[in-house]
């Protein structure tokens, strides 16, 4: 029997932030703050996990959304754009990519 994948059609934003080791903790806290105070209340948001690399050079945010449209609307929100400015000075760079969820095991 085939069962429908409950994640089908959903997307994941995987954002890898490059940081210096002395700023990793601060950057991770600020990314978590953005998700806890703003992102989690947005339509279409499902969940997020914030991780930090053991070498101290990366912070990763992995967020699941109902669709690309919901994510885009949130990213275009001026309140969100102002809030992410708290990361200035803590991150060296960011590499965001959106992935389509095709399977969960």
For residues 78 and 105, the model is more confident at: 78
Global pTM value: 0.89
Dig out the tokens for 41 from the structure: 């209340």
Q: Please tell me the predicted confidence (pLDDT) of residue 3.
A: 40
Distance of alpha carbon 89 from alpha carbon 98, whole angstroms = 25
Higher-scoring residue by pLDDT: 8, 12: 12
The total domain count for the chain is: 1
> How far is Cα of residue 41 from the mean position of the Cα atoms in its chain?
14
Separation of alpha carbons 15 and 86, rounded Å: 16
Give the C-alpha separation, 32 to 78, whole Å.
19
Q: What is the CATH number of the domain that holds 64?
A: 3.30.70.100
Is residue 17 within 8 Å of residue 87, measured between CB atoms? yes
Q: Is residue 3 part of a domain?
A: no
The lowest-confidence range among 7-11, 14-18, 70-74 is 7-11
The answer to the question of residue 6 being in a domain is no
Q: Which domain holds residue 85?
A: 11-100
For residue 1, name the pLDDT band (cuts at 50, 70, 90): very low
Residue 4 lies in a domain: no
Max CA distance (Å), the chain: 53
Q: Look at residue 83 and tell me if it is in a domain.
A: yes
Q: Is the pLDDT of residue 68 over 50?
A: yes
When the pLDDT of each residue in the chain is averaged and rounded to a whole number, the result is 93
- Tell me whether residue 5 is in a domain: no
Q: State residue 8's pLDDT score.
A: 66
């Amino acid at each position: 029997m085939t069962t429908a994948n409950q994640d089908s059609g959903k997307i994941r934003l995987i954002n890898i932030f490059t940081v210096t080791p002395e700023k990793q903790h601060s950057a991770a806290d600020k990314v978590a703050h953005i998700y806890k105070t703003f992102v989690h209340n947005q339509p279409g948001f499902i969940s997020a996990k914030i991780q930090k690399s053991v070498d101290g050079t990366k912070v990763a945010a992995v967020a699941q959304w109902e669709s690309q449209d919901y994510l885009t609307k949130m990213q275009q929100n001026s309140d969100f754009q102002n809030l992410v400015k708290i990361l200035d000075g803590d991150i060296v760079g960011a590499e965001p990519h959106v992935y389509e969820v095709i399977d969960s095991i």
